[in-house]
Amino acid sequence: MVSITAYGGVNEIGGNKFLLEDKDARIYLDFGQSFDFGTDFFYEYLQPRAAHGLEVYFEFGLIPKIPRLYSKTMLEKTDLKYEKPDIDAVFISHSHSDHVNHVSFLDESIPIYMGHGTHRLVETYHKLYPQFCDLGEHSNLNFFKSGDKIKIKHLTIEPIHVEHSVPGSYGFIIHTSKGPIVYTGDFRLHGPKSEMTKEFIEKATQAKPYAMLIEGTRMGSEQEHNYTEAEVENKVDEIVKESKGIVFGYFSMSNIDRFMSFYRSAVKTRRKLIIDTKFAYILDNMKEKIRDLPDVMDDENIAVYFRLSKSGTYSEKDYYLYERKYMPKMITYENIARDQKKFLMHMSFNKLMELVYIQPKGADYIYSSSEHFLEGEENEDERKVLENWMRHFGVKFHKAHCSGHACRKDLEDVIKAVEPEIVIPIHTESANDFGKFHGKIRILEKEKRMEM
């Protein structure tokens, strides 16, 4: 008997944690953290300390109390007894926190499988942001590439690359005793590497799957225009060309496609692209895995921003070891302030203070990340602060973004191409809408086992 139990990723966008059981084989598909994880109990500085294990999360029912899964250290102060784990493997589709972050709670002996690129990104992010997924003590990490066939007892799992807003993203075809089961992970079809998703869809179709677990992030958004990455690049080009001053851009540092759109825009308009030391470190680490990425140290179109620190003299001692490598590429606010029109600068919310030193004139700001921040009620305070900064410095605000997820029409086309016997919507708040595109929808309920 094959069954699936969702511990996250149903009735919500993100937080994927799916247990697939078949005879004596038990694997998890992703082990992520929900986007609203802990928001009911933790606030600003009211956060669990590093010394805490799962006791805090169990107290508020934030993490399911599943025996034989978590590590000894994590269970130490809880009433759940440590037992040797009975999970054969955990497969991670990509490096976003809503798919990987809770791997840190798992027993170190459980085999974890992820793509090479995913591993590199997880490690890089953990170094820069220690609260991001700690793989530190896991003794059983395994890395796959697209097309591998991984045997777990009688199951065979095939990871196949897909395009998403982070490199190294995969979907899985799992060959079970009930037939193949497809798990899409997060994917899209409107970026520069859509061929990868097409390959995944082809292989999924050929497998004639029994079931498909498909993400539906955008299932609920009615037919708005589906912006492509190419359109984003065009829009950025236009804004940069017209701008009379420095152009600031904000986008996620792990979104390499978006970085490339801004990078090309800078090259086309003969501006230098300015990134900070964290961003330089991420690109440097991804360079080995993505050959066509520009080399931070060698590329004359890229400069690395150093904030004025303690000594006030940009002395080496003011910066972390990892940052010092980029000192030959250093650009400071003095350099920028003098010649503002020559630059396109990555600017996150937390770095706005630099505007006080740069004193932008005739500048533009391109917000190029999830619309969520611009619309969500919970972000109102932050949004107001951003608006105030823009107004204070007379910076013109623009939006240029496309989603990392397939639009409704693409979801429909994928379902019609793959033709699984049953469709199981995941990673969505609009599961019922899938019924418009397929006659047999099954809807998972949290922590309830669904037999196939």
| Nearer to Zn ion among residue 12 and residue 421 (C-beta) | 12
Pairing of strands 169-176, 141-144: unpaired
193 versus 271: smaller Cβ distance to Zn ion: 193
- Distance CA(316)–CA(84), nearest Å, equals 48
CB closer to Zn ion out of 98 and 364: 98
Instruction: State the residue for tokens 């400069």.
Output: 303
* Stretch touching Zn ion by CB under 5 A, among 7-15, 105-113, 119-127, 359-367: 7-15
- The mark string for 270-309 relative to Zn ion (x by CB under 5 A, - otherwise) is ----------------------------------------
DSSP 8-state assignment for residue 48: -
237 sits near Zn ion (criterion: CB under 5 A): no
Question: Between 73 and 370, whose beta carbon lies closer to Zn ion?
Answer: 370
Q: Does 30 bind Zn ion (CB under 5 A)?
A: no
433: DSSP letter: G
- Lay out the site mask for Zn ion across 95-134 (x = CB under 5 A, - = otherwise): -x-x------------------------------------
Q: What is the DSSP letter of 32?
A: -
Asked if 186 is part of the footprint of Zn ion (rule: CB under 5 A), the reply reads yes
Provide, rounded to whole angstroms, the least separation between the CB of residue 215 and Zn ion.
7
State in angstroms the smallest separation of the CB of 59 from Zn ion: 27
Cα gap 386→395, rounded to integer Å: 11
Q: How far is CA 49 from CA 31, 54, 79, 329, in A?
A: 21, 11, 19, 37
Amino acid identity of residue 95, one-letter, is S
How big is the site for Zn ion, counted in residues (CB under 5 A)? 4
Residue with the two structure tokens 């976003």: 96
Positive or negative: CA dihedral 245, 246, 252, 255:
positive
Shortest separation between residue 70's beta carbon and Zn ion, angstroms:
22
Q: Out of 8, 9, 14, 85, name the contact with Zn ion by CB under 5 A.
A: 14
Of 107-115, 181-189, 269-277, 337-345, the segment contacting Zn ion by CB under 5 A is: 181-189
The total number of residues shown for the chain amounts to 452
* CB nearer Zn ion, residue 185 or residue 360: 185
In the complex, least distance from residue 62 CB atom to Zn ion, rounded to whole angstroms? 18
Strands (E), 199-331: 211-215, 247-250, 272-276, 302-305, 330-331
Q: Among residues 121, 141, 114, 96, which one has the least CA distance to residue 285?
A: 121
Q: Could you tell me which of 221, 273, 267, 246 has the C-alpha nearest to residue 405? A: 221
Interaction of residue 425 with Zn ion, rule CB under 5 A: no
Q: Which residues bind Zn ion (CB under 5 A)?
A: 14, 96, 98, 186
